[in-house]
Structure 1
Amino acid sequence: MEVLFSTNALVALLTLTFLEIILGIDNIVFLSIVSGKLKAEEQPKARRIGLLLAMLFRIILLFGITWVMGLKKSIYDFDWGFLSGHVTGQSLIIFGGGLFLLYKSVTEIHHKLEGAEEGETGKASNSLSAAIIQIALLNIVFSFDSILTAVGLVSSEPAPKGFGEAALIIMILSVVISIIIMMIFAGPVSKFVNEHPTIQILGLSFLILIGVMLLAEGSHLAGFKFLGENEVHSIPKGYLYFSIFFSLFVEFLNLKMRKSSKPVQLHNNKIQDEKLKDTDITN
């Protein structure tokens, strides 16, 4: 307890909580877009379940940190001349998550602009269970990446005597506090995202960037080398999040300057408006 309330521990807790919130931005964007396709009464439930799953996965991974770090071991080594490397458990999870995020983001952009699937065939992608499955799959990847980043931050800092035993508690506390904060702001953020088409498209573009970052990180963890010399490096997260915040800042200025103009309706929004009108007429 003495170590937990020390200055070093409190600084570590604040730093990790801030880091978890920043790393959770992509999670909230994905939650907002996926839950925005649900009925209005189901959206808060989907967001709560999504964030609770994120907290659960992160805590489970923290308790199994030895297993997580053990996934660095090589499963398969290869050298094809033009490409060499070693496949690990960590690289497979991160790389697979990047591919899934790229696929999902591009598909969502297509649906919002073309709307063929929701508008014509009406598949079950609007159901709560389908949304939760998508959220759970991506939460595993986001949680894995978040925990690896947090563990790397803690292990890279010189720790005082006895701090190692408290590190796990501090990381768990940071996860719980960050998820509570995200739960408080998830509703307003989702409402804002779904009311502004440009924010939706920007959010999906950010998810594409994050998908590319995960692909690069997975390739780096696998030690991919082209022609035996050119090693694949991970993309620093600071560059990525700076571009996200800068783009959002520019768009907020645009929205403020054009308050009177009516936003363009994306295909999904039009379908939802028509459903609401039909419901009102029926009632």
Structure 2
Amino acid sequence: MDSLMTLAADPAAWVALGTLIVMEVVLGIDNLLFISILTNKLPEHQRARARFIGIAAALVLRLALLSLVFVIVQLVEPVLTLFGQSFSWRDLILIGGGLFLVWKATKEIHHNVDPGHAPDVFDGGSGGSAVAGAAYAAIIGQILLLDLVFSLDSIITAVGMTDHIEIMVIAVVVTVAVMLFAANPLGNFIGNNPSVVMLALSFLLMIGMTLIAEGFGVKVPKGYVYAAMAFSAAVEALNMISRRASARKAASKGTARMPVRR
């Protein structure tokens, strides 16, 4: 309690907390995009629950990793060397998670390009109850897997920004609360705008490649990645506005041409 009061009276602690919350929220966007894309493949009545489970798991994993912060710090120590390149456990986890994300995003893009594709158990199809249950479990499993990767990246970022566990815990809780608040609106928005699905999948593909690059020791500035994502999202927003304006114009012309019955 005394340590919390001391931190509360320290302006530097508030600056660190604010900075960390912003960083964690930005990093949480990746996690939230993946959850939204996957849960939208489920029947509508299961989506909100699956999103809640995914985000709650993200909170539990982040807090669990914080409790093991001294172990997490050790994960950046080299454990494997191949062809002159050293890899830590963090590197291996990032590479594995990145490969999974690239595979998943590519698979989903293929499914969107080829609507005639026969769904498998990972697609959340509308088959029998056993198939639907297996699909639900598979999607939750995939969310948990990527939760682990994103949580590890998030906590290592937090450890690099502050030495105070209290600040890390507050930042993580606030970040997950923001994710929980934004999950359903984001998921519904993506589901209601098919063109956004492809954009979100391309974001996931880029994020996966970034994770792989970081696993191999190539530091990709996050600012570049998120600036590209923001620019693409802005262009897509303009396209959506243009399409809606064209649709309204066409509808008004159609109404004007309708003959008046007497």
CA contact (8 A) 1:3 1:9 kept: no
The one-letter code sitting in structure 2 at the alignment partner of 1:132 is I
Deviation at 1:78, TM superposition (A): 3.5
Deviation at 1:138, TM superposition (A): 0.5
Show CA shifts across 1:134-176 (max 9, x none).
000011001111111222222xxxxxxxxx4xx1011111111
**Map of 2:123 onto structure 1:** 125
Show CA shifts across 1:31-76 (max 9, x none).
1110001011100001101111111111111111111111223222
Among 121, 126, 142, which residue is 2:150 paired with?
142
Distance 1:108 1:95, change over 3 A: same
The reply to whether residue 241 of structure 1 matches residue 226 of structure 2 is: yes
The one-letter code sitting in structure 2 at the alignment partner of 1:246 is F
TM-score by structure 1 length?
Answer: 0.78
In 1, distance between residues paired with 2:77 and 2:44?
A: 45
The one-letter code sitting in structure 2 at the alignment partner of 1:48 is F
CA contact (8 A) 1:75 1:86 kept: yes
In 2, distance between residues paired with 1:57 and 1:147?
A: 10
Distance 1:214 1:252, change over 3 A: same
- 5 Å-filtered alignment, 1:86-125, equals 86-117=86-117, 120-125=118-123
Q: What CA RMSD, in Å, does the superposition of the two structures yield over aligned residues?
A: 1.6
The reply to whether residue 191 of structure 1 matches residue 188 of structure 2 is: yes
Distance 1:188 1:78, change over 3 A: closer
Show CA shifts across 1:83-108 (max 9, x none).
x2123211110111110110000001
Distance 1:182 1:78, change over 3 A: closer
In 1, distance between residues paired with 2:115 and 2:6?
A: 55
The one-letter code sitting in structure 2 at the alignment partner of 1:243 is A
In 2, distance between residues paired with 1:3 and 1:170?
A: 12
Show CA shifts across 1:16-41 (max 9, x none).
11111111111111111100010111
Aligned length: 233
Distance 1:112 1:63, change over 3 A: same
**Map of 2:59 onto structure 1:** 55
**Map of 1:75 onto structure 2:** 79
CA contact (8 A) 1:61 1:144 kept: yes
In 2, distance between residues paired with 1:218 and 1:71?
A: 12
Identical-residue share of aligned pairs (%): 38
CA contact (8 A) 2:50 2:140 kept: yes
In 2, distance between residues paired with 1:124 and 1:208?
A: 18
In 1, distance between residues paired with 2:154 and 2:80?
A: 25
**Map of 2:172 onto structure 1:** 175
Structure 1: state its 5+ residue gaps.
155-163, 221-232, 263-283
Distance 1:200 1:63, change over 3 A: same
CA contact (8 A) 1:75 1:89 kept: yes
Structure 2: state its 5+ residue gaps.
125-134, 248-262
TM-score by structure 2 length?
Answer: 0.84
In 1, distance between residues paired with 2:96 and 2:13?
A: 34
The reply to whether residue 207 of structure 1 matches residue 215 of structure 2 is: no
